[in-house]
Chain A
Amino acid sequence: NAGVTQTPKFRVLKTGQSMTLLCAQDMNHEYMYWYRQDPGMGLRLIHYSVGEGTTAKGEVPDGYNVSRLKKQNFLLGLESAAPSQTSVYFCASSYSSGGGDMNTEAFFGQGTRLTVV
């Protein structure tokens, strides 16, 4: 059982380049999230999805786009990378409780360390 898998694990980009980070989960979870982790700031939500074909903005969405064409995948795109986007990116997923306790556990991937030079 792989859980949440992120690719790539490391990447160095030049300013202005574009890239896509892939997140895949095999737990049939409805909800998926992208966070970024920066020193002294904890994790901040970039975008999230409550189901296939839906996406919504989080706390820090500027400079990023996302897509959820398949339930198991959630893609994070950087169209024109900037040094301020140097960070560690985490994908997470969680399931719908179907009316029970809505505070279901989030399962995280191992992260992607992105450096923009």
Chain B
Amino acid sequence: GNSVTQMEGPVTLSEEAFLTINCTYTATGYPSLFWYVQYPGEGLQLLLKATKADDKGSNKGFEATYRKETTSFHLEKGSVQVSDSAVYFCALSDLRGGGNKLTFGTGTQLKVEL
């Protein structure tokens, strides 16, 4: 079955530091890949997505590239801000049977300090 593995947190960085959160997946076929973000006390929000190999998703300074050869979708940001503190989830889609059902990783908590 489908599965997503992402790095354990929490990750603590200073403001303006470089961020990488690793994500690898196992899936049948060629799923689309997503990063969702959860701010404290809120539901998840889509951060970015990529639908095929070598696609790069980007949003709010975050980027991730769909690497089929390494089955990875690592999240990066060149300079983090305190406002980026949140939990980040990597996910892949399953379109079989209708809808866009998501398989999530365990989430990585990011804390950015001044």
| Residue B61 interfacial (CB < 8 Å) | no
Tally of chain A residues near chain B (CB < 8 A): 30
A109 touches B106 (CB 8 A): no
Q: What's the Cα separation between A111 and B45 when bound, in Å?
A: 13
Given A40-B106, A101-B51, is A45 in contact with B46 using a C-beta cutoff of 8 Å?
A: no
Q: Is B97 an interface position by the 8 A CB rule?
A: yes
Question: Is A105 at the interface (CB under 8 A from chain B)?
Answer: yes
Q: How large is the interface on B (under 10, 10 to 19, 20 to 34, 35 or more residues)?
A: 20 to 34
Q: Is the CB of B44 within 8 A of A108?
A: yes
In the complex, chain B residues whose CB is within 8 Å of the CB of A58: 101
Which residue from B43, B99, B107 sits with its C-beta under 8 Å from A110? B43
Give the one of B41, B93, B99, B100 with max A CB within 10 A. B99
Q: Which positions 13-70 of chain A face chain B at CB distance < 8 Å?
A: 30-31, 33, 35, 40-45, 48-50, 56, 58-59
Identify 18 residue pairs between A and B in the complex whose beta-carbon atoms are under 8 Å apart, listed by A's number: A4-B43, A33-B99, A40-B106, A42-B4, A42-B104, A45-B101, A45-B102, A48-B99, A49-B99, A56-B98, A58-B101, A92-B43, A101-B51, A102-B93, A108-B43, A108-B44, A110-B41, A111-B43
